[in-house]
Structure 1
């Protein structure tokens, strides 16, 4: 696997590959040795069988040599001679020669191994030569006269066609089953390794299927003993992360709760100060303190809203963890009730919020209180950053898609590369520090957190796919 310069690989080599690779080379080396041995064994077996046949034929012909006063004769009938030389698949020939190399009987063109004539007295000796343009294998057997000091040699040759065919058949009969058995063995090894690693894939699938906030320990029942320390360490890590998140949530909730009272008191004091200063200052007099107090009141409002959002986030994480509080119901009444105040707010600002919902009930599994919080946050975001027209659409579930709620506006949207950051806590876009829109950067993060804890999804789309900005909630049935 290649990686860009300076970058580490995403992961190490596959465990299955590390197990199979050495086994494959062992299997391949063993198979190569087995095939080579089979080829040599087939060659040796074929040669031994055919050589023994040639030697037996030479010995049989030598037994037909008759010694007479006129010299040695080969006592064979014509039918016997034709039987010796006839072969449909091979070229056979024989001859009887004297010590001077003259052919006394048989084929006159037969090759004569002169160097072997004196060494084939005890038993027939085989040799290789060429006869009639073909390579042949032959046997020579020298016999002595029982009374006279004379000898003759019987030579039998045959071409190597049948020998090569038999050798090929033996090789195929040995090699093919060996290769097939080796392939089956290697396939079984691969299957066994895959089966042994399946529990790890099952653990990975379970982790992938879990919700974001599911910190339960991973099961160990089906995990191989070698992987148990790893899974136990992961479970320890999950427990530590869960404890850390709990401490963080408690800190946020406690801090927000402790800040709520002094911020509310500060806001009351600022309002009282504004009223008293207005009472002692003539209406036509210069009021340099008014912009400062207005800025202080705006800042206290924003601080109070931030504290409220932090408390909402902490409370949602606690209450939505109780699965029993989620139940299937008609979401349209919940939606109407939650968005009514924001519709009035939009009308006062000269904006419009339209609702498109079917007459029939739209069932989905929600937590009524926190689903309303999601809608409020999305509409508030649209009123702060969107255009003049805001649409709220409800679509019931069908065979392919779950129930959906869409909040869409015709505002400027965001840059496509910033979509991934919309749901980050406290992210409010570029140069948020110079804007005075009253936003906290937590509304969308809270909305997604709540939707995911209810088993749904929250996604965003921007120009050019939609007129401005669109948030789509998909709810579980």
Structure 2
């Protein structure tokens, strides 16, 4: 009846169902134990008291009277039978009205009330050698009515206690065993009843991030159907909102391409006009402004292209038709070659380390290249002079692609923001590196939609910056 781990939620439904039953059963078991004890004690005392009274009455019947006084006419065998018991200690005595012992054990306790009574022996409690005993006393009067003796029979309470314990055990144990079996059956029934809800939870847990299909209601209990229906409605609403956001981003980026392209062309044309007219008065101080305008238009063009790439990847990779196992080495070579030449012109070395044998992994022929392009472009802009692209096959299927550089890396306190859209590090506004802050976001989005993972390491864990792409088979 334990709750699931975590904070911010109430007890489990299983606990809510079984805990009240458990408390009710425990209270009932305690009352049953108390009642069984009282019943067993009453039954045991009644039976043993009747036996004591019968023994006292039987001994009283053996009292005879003679000139010498009262005599207890019992054989030796009868006396041994009365006083010998393997479990209890029994004793008897015959006393006169003054309390003198005429026969039997002199240590037998004598009750204070020894009045004449022929109807029924009287019961009493006392101590015998420091041990509690139960006794019966029966007064016998002589035929001449001039003398009275009392027969006292006592026994310890050992057999009574044993009988009470046995009776309690015989009453409580079946109830305990039956209760445990009942709770095991109830727990099994509750678990079985909650299994459809756990299956729904497992179905949600294994779904991809952009899988908004409605949850099945086939085996869901009737009480949980409204909840699942509401969740399905929320999934549908989220899907509609995300689709609207994607459409807006794609439409906005597409609409911006034409005017931005026109600004870029006009800036280039104006720069060429000023360059050809060297005698133009004051042309020299316009050229830096035009150069800045051209660079800004190129960065804006790149940003729009990245936004379109992000929107298209989200749309294209929702379908798994083109996600199939294939050799990814040719894809990586094709994506790396243009950046290798560009890196050489900038004084950077971009090296591809790939095995001769095919490396099979689930990938998209276009979008995996987009991932590599973005990671290499990020290393080219922010890394050191040495950039390494390495690909290795996993022994149990899939592949691992890493991009490493020997640059300054990213501070540990900023690693959590590395894949945030438009984040380019501290004081990015002072750097004119042409970056948009979307490359790593797009790369992670594509990798996750391909069913893989994208992780990053930097100093002090790695000497520089390292991105690790893991693809499944």
**Short-chain TM bin:** over 0.9
Q: Distance in 1 between matches of 2:248 and 2:211?
A: 21
**Pair 1:356–1:159, CA change in 2 (3 A):** same
TM-fit CA distance, 1:185: 3.4
TM-fit CA distance, 1:419: 1.7
TM-score by length of 1: 0.92
TM-score by length of 2: 0.92
Q: Deviations over 1:418-451 (max 9, x none)?
A: 2221111111111112211111111111111111
Q: 1:78 aligns to what? A: 76
DSSP-derived class of the 2:34 partner:
helix
Map residues 259-298 of structure 1 onto 2, 5 A cutoff. 259-282=256-279, 287-298=284-295
TM-fit CA distance, 1:189: 3.6
**What are structure 1's unaligned runs of at least 5 residues?**
1-7
After TM superposition, the structure 1 stretch with the greater mean CA deviation from structure 2, 330-339 or 138-147, is: 138-147
Q: Deviations over 1:311-335 (max 9, x none)?
A: 1111111111111111111000011
**Pair 1:9–1:165, CA change in 2 (3 A):** closer
TM-fit CA distance, 1:403: 0.8
Matched, 1:444 2:440: yes
Q: Is contact 1:117-1:140 (8 Å) kept?
A: no
Matched, 1:308 2:305: yes
Counterpart of 2:356 (choices 352, 359, 363) is 359
Map residues 433-472 of structure 1 onto 2, 5 A cutoff. 433-472=429-468
Q: How many matched pairs? A: 468
After TM superposition, the structure 1 stretch with the greater mean CA deviation from structure 2, 65-74 or 293-302, is: 65-74
Q: Distance in 2 between matches of 1:220 and 1:116?
A: 84
Q: 1:44 aligns to what? A: 42
Q: Is contact 2:114-2:150 (8 Å) kept?
A: no
Q: 1:21 aligns to what? A: 19
Q: 1:432 aligns to what? A: 428
Matched, 1:422 2:418: yes
DSSP-derived class of the 2:210 partner:
coil
DSSP-derived class of the 1:470 partner:
strand
Q: Distance in 2 between matches of 1:144 and 1:78?
A: 24
Q: Is contact 1:456-1:476 (8 Å) kept?
A: yes
Q: 1:254 aligns to what? A: 251
After TM superposition, the structure 1 stretch with the greater mean CA deviation from structure 2, 97-106 or 417-426, is: 97-106
Q: Is contact 1:27-1:186 (8 Å) kept?
A: no
Map residues 48-59 of structure 1 onto 2, 5 A cutoff. 48-59=46-57
TM-fit CA distance, 1:72: 3.8
Map residues 281-430 of structure 1 onto 2, 5 A cutoff. 281-282=278-279, 287-399=284-396, 402-430=398-426
Q: Deviations over 1:184-231 (max 9, x none)?
A: 434444444343333333222222211111111122223222222112
